[in-house]
Chains A and B, each alone.
Chain A
Amino acid sequence: MVLTQNNNADTTVIRIENLCKSYSLQGTDGKSIVNQVLFDINMTVYQGEFVAIMGHSGSGKSTLMNILGCLDIPTSGSYWLSGKNISTLTENELARIRNQSIGFVFQGFNLLKRMTALDNVAVPLLYAGINRSQSRKQALALLCRTGLEKFAMHQPNQLSGGQQQRVAISRALVNHPPLILADEPTGNLDTQTSKEIMLLFEQLNREQGITIVLVTHEDDIASYARRLIRLKDGCVIYDDKNTITGDH
């Protein structure tokens, strides 16, 4: 299974070339300072891969993930997602890509408050133009698969961290995107819950061939991935393309 995926790996999901990102900040003396966060990043991710991006805090992992998730735009360089050049797309087309092609999982869950788990999962379907009752049906099906059907009518503040992250993962999956981006998805969870979440990601990758790019700074979390990329001060310092199970 894994091997067949890798053999068909000529399908690129992500390709970035010479990607740079810098922020301009207002300095104390009133002059604007340019703070470059990402330097000349090159990487290619093929369909079915499970990639972990590691690096110290402040090394630019989230910045990279936000660009990959079309939530932010690079300062220079190119980004192709499933063959589409992102920089040529309009705001509406980007919204559509975020809706259809990417499932984003955040460290802080980012569920909508005062809305049931079911309705939270259904939101991407609504923006895909599916009506409410149909959306709820599909959302419930996903909650069943992640083992949360009992909590469908709970609001986020009535759920544990692990349950909230499962709701968020269900939401990321609901439009069947080929790519899941997860920025420190276990950052707010205890070890046991983190393990369960990672097993869920591993299962999604293995059984459904969903491409997963995951950011973490913990080695045992990264060990669930099959490829490791290390960032340091905004540069890729390590990219190991052929790891099957990580034990770095």
Chain B
Amino acid sequence: MSESSQGKDTSGVTLGRFFAQAREGALTGIRCVGCGALAVPPKELCPECGARRWEPVPLSGEGTIASYTVIRVAPRGHAGDAPYAIAAVRLREGVSLLGRVVDVPLEALAVGLPVRFRPIVVKDRPAIAFGPA
């Protein structure tokens, strides 16, 4: 049996399922069965080794801010929320996620600040956020 025919949908972590779980407070990454590379869904092929077999792996949600900004001029759909903070957060496991930062004073934002995942809903859609660690 070829790699491709065994490999379909091995992790079960579709984009829709990832955000459904995130809404419940759980972050689920995917790990390549071939080489162990960790990624966030959705990915069909491993960018490191090309394999097509993934397994779900729970992520701690703990990390530090790698970079951040405060959006003051917002898109039409988010105008009521401004100003709001967005950060790239490097999780303890090594993958990074972009998210809103909530419950942290804007002037306390800093590269290296420890934060922890928390789910939010923006305009009826589940999204990633981080609060104080």
Partners in one complex: no
